[in-house]
Amino acid sequence: MSKKITLTMLATAMLAFVNLSEAQQPKKIPRIGYLSGGESTLPKAFVQALRDLGYNEGKNIVFEYRTTEGNTGRYPDLIADLDRVNVDVIVADGTGPALAAKQATSTIPIVMTSSTDPVRTGLVTSLARPGGNVTGLTSVSGELGGKLLELLKEMVPALSRVVVPGPAPGSPSEDLFIKETEIPARALKVRLIRAPVRQDEDIKGVFQLTAKERAHALLVRIPPNAPAARRRQFVELAAKNRLPAIYQARTFMDLGGLIMYGADRAVAFQRVATYVDKILKGTKPADLPVEAPTKFELIINLKTAKQIGLTIPQSMLYRADKVIR
């Protein structure tokens, strides 16, 4: 056998070995980290949207759930844990988780499910060109705050004082929301009274403040993914005190909330899934423009209205996307 033939056979064998070795290497399954302040599981709309895009949990994608359970001091440890398990993308459910994730990492792509003015809070450079490792969905603040007050005013014509339970002063997104909502509040001759909620024990204090200030209603700024026990306590105490309260997410309505107006989270999470898909396929977050909500929903619970002795104007019921009877 000639030396040339021997070398050719050897090269062919080595190539076959390399190809076999590569074939035996398991393909890396993408890992998606979900960072939340309350809920510990991903919304079904997000999972279904990824499934429609060809991703099936346990087969070609893995989810890593991390929640602070209402304790924001846990964010650094949770994000470090997501980094340790080598997630490919972090889905940050809200402004707080997104800010915490951005502060902790500049390399892992972050997709925010919503954020109050991500430019002014420092999450992105601009909506069209985010410029870093963060992209996703934004939310309106002043416009939404004005709409929420208008709805309260329509239900309670004498409305002049509204307590706003939410993150404590110093929260970039909440400070911005209050600042921008003050403009429509003045036009409606309504005074906003902030009520910081850092833990469940603060909730009773919200209603004590409401009584002290003789407020007419609540504009609840507790995140939609807050622990269910916290959301339930708000809904139950509002009903017990016969106090109109407006929320920004369907998660409160599922617990008996009076009225909600806000972005449709199911639609939002469907859009988040497209961001995750593009990033997994190689697109950089910096090149994916931040989107604003495209669909809002108004839901009214007539059973709760009756319970607190409130008559909902017929004009509001006509405009509602859903009326719970």
C-alpha span between 184 and 162 (Å, rounded):
13
Asked if residue 2 belongs to a domain, the reply is: no
Are 132 and 184 within one domain? no
Q: Is the CB of residue 142 less than 8 Å from the CB of residue 180? A: yes
323: enclosing H helix or E strand: strand 322-324
Are 53 and 192 within one domain? no
Q: What is the pLDDT along the chain (325 residues), one digit of tens a residue?
A: 555 555 455 555 555 554 544 444 557 899 999 999 876 678 899 999 999 999 999 899 999 999 988 788 899 999 999 999 999 999 999 888 999 999 999 999 999 998 888 998 899 999 999 999 999 999 876 678 999 999 999 999 999 999 999 988 888 888 888 999 999 999 999 999 999 998 888 999 999 999 999 999 999 998 887 888 889 999 999 999 999 999 998 989 999 999 999 999 899 999 999 999 999 999 999 999 999 988 899 999 999 999 999 999 999 999 999 999 9
Number of alpha carbons in the 13 Å side-chain half-sphere of residue 122: 8
Pure H helices in 138-254? 142-155, 172-187, 203-213, 228-240, 250-253
Phi, psi of 77, deg, nearest 5: -65, -40
Are 276 and 164 within one domain? no
Report the domain count for the chain. Answer: 2
Are 151 and 277 within one domain? no
Asked if residue 89 belongs to a domain, the reply is: yes
Asked if residue 240 belongs to a domain, the reply is: yes
The string of DSSP letters for 234-301 reads HHHHHHHTT--EEESSHHHHTTT-SEEEEE-HHHHHHHHHHHHHHHHTT--GGGS--B----EEEEEE
Asked if residue 42 belongs to a domain, the reply is: yes
Are 124 and 242 within one domain? no
Are 168 and 279 within one domain? no
CATH number for 258: 3.40.50.2300
Asked if residue 1 belongs to a domain, the reply is: no
| Residue 101, domain extent | 31-139+265-287
Asked if residue 254 belongs to a domain, the reply is: yes
Give the SS3 label for residue 50.
helix
What the block records as the tokens of 79 is: 């994000």
17: enclosing H helix or E strand: helix 3-24
Are 168 and 310 within one domain? yes
Are 56 and 184 within one domain? no
Asked if residue 21 belongs to a domain, the reply is: no
Are 135 and 270 within one domain? yes
Phi, psi of 35, deg, nearest 5: -110, 120
Are 116 and 156 within one domain? no
Are 155 and 124 within one domain? no
